[in-house]
Amino acid sequence: MATEHLLEIKNLWVKYGPVEAVKGTDFWIDRGEIVSLLGSNGAGKSSTLRAISALVKSEGKIVFNGRDISEYPAYKIPFLGLSMCPEGRGIFSDLTVEENLALGAYTVRRNRKKIRENFEKVYSLFENLADKKSQLAGTLSGGEQQMLSIGRALMSEPKLLMLDEPSLGLSPKLVDMIFNILKEINRNGTTIFLVEQNAAMALALSHRLYVMQTGKIITFGTPKEIDLNTLKKKYFGGV
Amino acid sequence: MLFQQVIAGLITGSLYALVALGLVMAYKVTEVMNFAYGYMAMISAYIFYSLFVVFGLNYASSFALAVLVGVGMGYVVERGLLRPVRYISPTSMVIITLGVLLVLQGLALQIWGNEYQHVPNALNGKPLIFRTFGGIVVIPQQSLLIVGIVFATVIFLFLYLKFTYQGMAFRATSQNEEAAKLMGINTNLNMSLSWMISGALGAAAAILAAPQTFVYPDMMLNLQIMGFTAAVLGGFDSIPGAIIGGVTLGVVDNLVGAYLSNNLRATFSLAIIVAILLVRPEGIFGRPKSRRV
Ligand SMILES: Nc1ncnc2c1ncn2[C@@H]1O[C@H](COP(=O)(O)OP(=O)(O)OP(=O)(O)O)[C@@H](O)[C@H]1O
Ligand SMILES: [Mg+2]
């Protein structure tokens, strides 16, 4: 049990009709790590995350916490301790902040005590949200919505938290804040799988990184092993 | 006279509200306007008629069984007919409900013919009579029953949707299906459930209305139109909206019938919808959609 990976992906394929978005990827994530998946637009990063969460159909093997979840329907996966903040945040805009967070705890809804504790944890992590409990989520600022999305994912105390471009559209200051919070969440024992275009931040935060291009993992390693400048030139067209 | 008309309007209005409530319930979660709604309810009314009048089962059991058939039809239509095309061609779902309407209408004609069947009231005791504002108000017990059932249903649904986890899961499913799945919500099950609840509400409305409308294949046509109107007035996805829409429509409808012309009732109601939608396209209670693209 202890030696196996928390998440292991083998020969993952995602196809949208004739479009092959992910083409036979293999990778793994160990307990306690922060792992980033980098790649340019259209590389297949979101498709990979969505396949793991079963939001899209995929072929291949997905093993989470010792269990083969390749055939699981999407709604069963969070019960195993795997949460995701989707691209575009995926908040419930016509529900209040508090209701959004409560839904984050749907998998542990019978445990009132735990829910109360997690509300406190999330509100202390994101003080902005604490002041806006009864505000409709759709009226929050972009940064606050991102915090809500992360906070909501934490309400179920996941073993693995997957985030799809949490820095997108945020000011540098907010990006800093989100990344510090991710560090703290990780220190408290949550494994993190991060999809990012912001390569500098990902390098600063991650224990390991994978780089994806046109549906395949082309290189991986620790931040030291992966040189940002070559990475930029080679795969991001010098962005 | 005026007061009596208002009371009568409130009573018809609560029936409209019950019909609207079922439409809204299904729409809220699956975003499908169910044009077959009244015809599904009509089948339940026939089931009730057969059990109660023909076979002589008691009222409560006949009612319960007929409502159960409504629940079953809701499930079958959602799960069997709509779900398969949901992600392929959402617009065709509405057409499918129209198809269901025609099939059920034909089926009812085949099985029961087109005679008007009489169904008695649930309650036949002495009507409530009281004098106020210089007039006499007569309220039949059946009407009180309808108002009571609508009232209880509304309060229950409102509290259920607002304060339980299952209710929140319904609202989450309707707002963002994908995000709801990520929360661990079985969105498919919720879609079925919403249609089952809707089927039950429609069946109840049809059985309660049957003593006045009689039971025949098109018995729910007028009620369905009024239910739609009430739902649209209320914003189509708001429970309180459906209720207020239904009651308002019932009162206006009765007043027009009493003071202008009985023939103008339906026309006037439709004119009201158009007028309100011109001013407030999202309905009286609807919020403009803030959906993310
Ligand atoms: N629903 C879909 N239908 C058809 N093609 C799709 C769909 N979703 C994604 N694709 C295609 O799959 C490929 C990978 O998309 P994906 O969203 O996974 O990329 P990404 O790495 O997340 O990109 P970005 O950084 O821009 O978010 C792209 O070519 C995209 O056009
Ligand atoms: Mg993406």
Contacts of B181 in chain A (CB under 8 A): 53-55, 74-75
Q: Ligand 1, closest atom to CA A48?
A: 18
For the Cβ of A42 lying below 6 angstroms from any atom of ligand 1, the answer is: yes
| Nearest CB to A55; choose among B165, B178, B184 | B178
Residue B96 has pLDDT above 50, yes or no: yes
* Beta carbon of A86 within 6 Å of any ligand 1 atom: no
User: B55, exposed or middle or buried, with CB in 10 Å at 0-12, 13-18, 19+?
Assistant: exposed
**Cα dist from A40 to A167, A184, A212, whole Å:** 15, 27, 8
What DSSP character marks residue A195?
E
In a domain, B292, yes or no: no
**pLDDT for residue B292 is more than 60:** no
pLDDT digits (tens, 9 = 90+) for A100-123: 999 999 999 999 999 999 999 999
Of B181, B287, B291, which is closest to A74 when you measure between CB atoms?
Answer: B181
Does the beta carbon of A80 lie under 8 angstroms from any beta carbon of chain B?
no
Number of domains chain B contains: 1
B286 part of a folded domain: no
Average pLDDT score over residue span B87-114: 92
Q: Would the CB atoms of A78 and B169 count as touching at under 8 Å? A: no
Between B279 and B21, the higher pLDDT residue = B21
Residue B285 lies in a domain: no
Structure tokens at A79: 């019960």
**Are the beta carbons of B183 and A107 separated by less than 8 Å?**
yes
ipTM of the complex: 0.92
> Does residue B181 sit within a domain?
yes
Length of chain A: 239
Per-residue pLDDT tens over the stretch A164-209? 999 888 888 889 999 899 999 999 999 999 999 888 888 899 999 9
Cα-to-centroid distance, A164 and ligand 1 (Å): 12
**Domain CATH for B124:** 1.10.3470
**Distance from Cα A30 to the centre of ligand 2, integer Å:** 23
The answer to whether residue B284 sits within a structural domain is no
pLDDT digits (tens, 9 = 90+) for B25-37: 999 899 999 999 9
Judged on CB neighbours under 10 Å (0-12, 13-18, 19+), B131 is exposed
Give domain status of residue B81, yes or no: yes
Cα separation, A80 vs B268, in Å, equals 56
Residues from B in contact with A at Cβ < 8 Å: 165, 168-169, 171-172, 175-176, 178-187, 287, 290-292
Per-residue pLDDT of chain A (239 residues; tens, 9 = 90+): 556 899 999 999 999 999 999 999 999 999 999 999 999 899 999 999 999 999 999 999 999 999 999 999 999 999 999 999 999 889 999 999 999 999 999 999 999 999 999 999 999 999 989 999 999 999 999 999 999 999 999 999 999 999 999 988 888 888 999 989 999 999 999 999 999 988 888 889 999 999 999 999 998 998 888 876 666 666 555 44
CA-wise closest residue to A25 among A54, A47, A56: A47
Q: Kindly compute the dihedral angle of the four CA atoms of residues A182, A184, A187, A193, in this order, to the nearest 10 degrees.
A: 0
Does some domain include residue B288? no
In terms of residue numbers, what domain contains B111? 2-279
